[in-house]
Chain A
Amino acid sequence: MTMAHPSFQPPGWRWLKAQVWGLEHAFERAKAAGKAEDDTRIRIFFVLALFSASFLTLAIGATNSAVFSNLGRGDGGAAAVGSARADLVDRNGAMLAADLLHYGLYIDPQEIWDKGEVRRALLGSIPSLTPARLNRALNGQRRTFVLGGLTPESRARVHALGLPGVTFEREERRVYPLGQTAAHLIGFADTGGVGLAGAERALNDLAHQNAAAGAPVALSIDLRVQAALEDELYKAATLHQVKGAVGIVTNVHTGEILGVASYPTFDPNQAGKSSPDALTNRAAASVYEMGSTFKVFTVALGLDSGTATLASTFDARAPLTMNGRTIRDYHAENKVMSVSDIFIHSSNIGTTKLALQAGSGTVQKYYKAFGLTTAAPVELRESAKPIVPRRWDDNDVASTSFGHAISVSPLAVAAGMGSVLNGGTYVPLTIRPVKPGFRPKGARAVSEETSRAMLDLMRVNVVRGTGGKANAPGMRVGGKTGSANKVIGGRYSNNILVSSFAAVFPTDGPLDADRYFVLILMDEPKGTSETYGFATGGWTAAPAAGRVIDRIGPFLGVDRRPEVVGTTPAEAVVPIESEH
């Protein structure tokens, strides 16, 4: 207990009193000296100054608290943090992937007095909740996460039950509303917000950056084109009972991928339940010996290098024997053929002679310029490296001239074909849309004259040659079939094929006119009664390519030419029965 003297005062207090009394005495002295006005004014001024300073301070503080207190707190908006990812949209803004609000279900067993009732209610309300998981949470000692990914409707349903100890927390979950549509291109991300495949993986950093800015990430695909491509590809794949199939649509000038499909496909919302086979993006991650579609490259390099002209002739009267192997034409013309005929009749002998005449160095140089010796330069991480010959001797040059002994991804083929058909520059493919009117400057691969000649040659091949079934009415389609024998057990099979069709449309008009490339590839297609048992590119891939072009042409602004509607050339009605 403090026993302070009643008259005790702290030193500070005594000093303050002395100051106040000193001031008061000063006022009294001033008053006694006959300066009452001054005395009052000084007092008033002193009081006013004191109050003004106090209230000014108060006013500034109050204004600051009332007006600026919420600045920087960020509680008004949806600040994206951590694992948040931006929406993926197609080139027209259609939603492809989005982070959507979901709820996580938590249970605190300490707050539950009737566990049986809670168990029954929850199991009845949430079909995906397993009893084992629920029991583990109910029998625990602390608040436990039970189930994630509850939609707001599910959460509201459970919340309405009024169960004690059952709480929810917000969580964002990646959702792919289109299901299987464009699944391989979109890819998928894990629950931590990390992209694992497709564009989700390729554009992972951009997705996080744009999430913070609230802007979506646009992809180059056009959903309408994608849908038509998938529909026709899957129908053809089902019809021909294929092992796998690929469809690609690109803009040859910009390198934009407007549609890409791989069969079989999967649902990115349930990627974990899909088989590795279905998850494989065959357009990017698989490599194929393409067969005769490679003759586009061989003829292009032959023309561009000055090795031959379209009128140059090569003797294809007899099979070509070299290093103990015999190269035959599958529908032998047995005649001296021009380069045009070699292309239209898909002559292996003629193509081989053209490539050999060009020489190994020239072939390698052009294949490199076409991007066939490296992985396709596209954002997708799945882009596979090609399998190329080691020595590039005459044997290899001969084989690669008609698409054997070199395996490339379909995307690499699409990029290479673009360089032949866009005026001659190699433009890397991209899954991002480019600005309207912008045309990337690619590296020169072939001359404009060669590009023009190849466009015309491919058109003739559809009108008169093996690609007749791809002749979509009025779309001026050009193309080249391919049917490569697959290597089974180290040897080329006679009847198991990779059939393909590489198409371009429209083939007319100036070289810088809008032009699109379509590739349809089928892995191990089976013949049907409609195809008379044939499973080659002209019978399987070409019709699908024609139907795709028929449907997507209007979306891409390609006008039909009325005069050719319904006038499929007679020569093209029945393609040559087996082209390679």
Chain B
Amino acid sequence: MSVFSRKIRGFRLVDVVAAGLLVAIILSVYLAKTIAGGERTEIATVEKQIEAERDRIRLLQAEVAHLEQPSRIEQLSAAHLGMAPMAAKNEITPETLGDVMLAAQLKAATAKRAAEPPKVEVAAPVEPAAKPLTQVARVSIPGVQQ
């Protein structure tokens, strides 16, 4: 007897299998749609949250811009920290840090010499401190028009 002609309780086997297959497919489609619907709802919720967060971020960005407006920062820094726009003499570049250190050392040396008591017994001409120091300072600044 062919498998296509075999019957179970009066029904053909192939019909029973086809019906079972049909039920299985219907069930799987239903489940897929249901799960997809749930996922879609979740996606919509997340997208809504993203949108809300995006609005929140923009609001916070605007608030930051408002709080960081230069005139406000300047007022606060002047009132509470005693700060002021930086003076030119306080600006320094990494390339000239060595020159500043040298200048400070020269200044200290000059001050030290000036503070020493004059030696009365020395009649020979004293080497003026400022002249050679100035020359050193000039020579030491690279790439600068003298």
Minimal beta-carbon separation of B56 from chain A (angstroms): 8
Instruction: Chain B residues near A561: list those with CB within 8 A.
Output: 144-145
- Measured CB to CB, the nearest residue on chain A to B44 is A75
The verdict on A177 contacting B66 (CB below 8 Å), with A101-B58, A563-B145 known, is yes
Q: A101-B59, A566-B88 are in contact. Are A41 and B4 (CB under 8 A)?
A: yes
CB distance from B121 to the nearest CB of A (A): 40
When A and B form their complex, what is the total count of cross-chain residue pairs whose Cβ atoms lie within 8 Å? 113
* B14–A177 touching, CB < 8 Å: no
B134 at interface (Cβ–Cβ under 8 A)?
no
Known: A177-B69, A227-B74. A152 touches B22 (CB 8 A): no
Question: Do B144 and A565 have beta carbons less than 8 Å apart?
Answer: no
Q: Mark B67-104, 1 if CB is under 8 A from A, else 0.
A: 00111001000000000010011010100100100000
- Are B62 and A66 in contact, CB atoms less than 8 angstroms apart? no
Q: Does A496 contact B (CB under 8 A)?
A: no
List the A side residues contacting B66 at CB < 8 Å: 177-179
With contacts A62-B33, A566-B88 known, is A95 near B71, CB below 8 A? no
B71 interface neighbour in A59, A94, A98, A181, Cβ under 8 Å: A181
Count of chain B residues near A, Cβ 8 A:
43
Contact of A62 among B29, B74, B88 (CB under 8 A): B29
- Chain A proximity mask over B4-29: 1 for CB below 8 Å, otherwise 0: 11000000001100100110010001
Which listed residue, B2, B43, B54, B91, touches A560 by the CB 8 Å rule? Answer: B91
**Judging by beta carbons under 8 Å apart, are B62 and A562 in contact?**
no
Q: Is B47 an interface residue (CB 8 A)?
A: yes
- In the assembled complex, the CB of A408 is this many whole angstroms from the nearest CB of chain B, namely 30
Contacting A at CB under 8 A, from B93-120, are 93, 96, 99
**Which residues of chain A are near B129, meaning CB under 8 Å?**
none
- Measured in the bound complex, the distance between the Cα atoms of B86 and A384 in whole Å is 37
CB neighbours (8 Å) of B65 from chain A are 94-96, 177-178
Please, how many angstroms separate the alpha-carbon atoms of A473 and B56 in the complex? 45
CA distance A151 to B15 in the complex (A): 66
Whose C-beta in chain B lies nearest to the C-beta of A63?
A: B32
A563 CB contacts on chain B under 8 angstroms:
141, 144-146
Inter-chain CA distance A98–B69, complex, in Å, is 15
- Closest-by-CB residue of A relative to B66 is A177
Chain A count of residues within 8 A CB distance of the other chain = 55
CA of A95 to CA of B89, assembled, Å: 33
Does chain B have a CB within 8 A of A230?
Answer: yes
A472 and B93 within 8 A (CB): no
B residues in contact with A338, CB < 8 Å: none
Question: Is A231 in contact with chain B by the CB < 8 A criterion?
Answer: yes
Q: Give the contacting residue for B69; candidates A47, A181, A566; CB below 8 A.
A: A181
User: Does A7 interact with chain B (Cβ within 8 Å)?
Assistant: no
Cβ 8 A contact of B70, one of A62, A65, A100, A224: A224
Q: Mark B28-72, 1 if CB is under 8 A from A, else 0.
A: 010011001000100110010001001110110111011001110
**Would A37 and B61 be within 8 Å (CB), given that A47-B18, A62-B32, A231-B74 are in contact?**
no
Nearest CB to that of A78 among chain B residues?
B51
B85 touches A181 (CB 8 A): no
Tell me the B residues contacting A by CB distance below 8 Å. 2, 4-5, 14-15, 18, 21-22, 25, 29, 32-33, 36, 40, 43-44, 47, 51, 54-56, 58-59, 61-63, 65-66, 69-71, 74, 85, 88-89, 91, 93, 96, 99, 141, 144-146
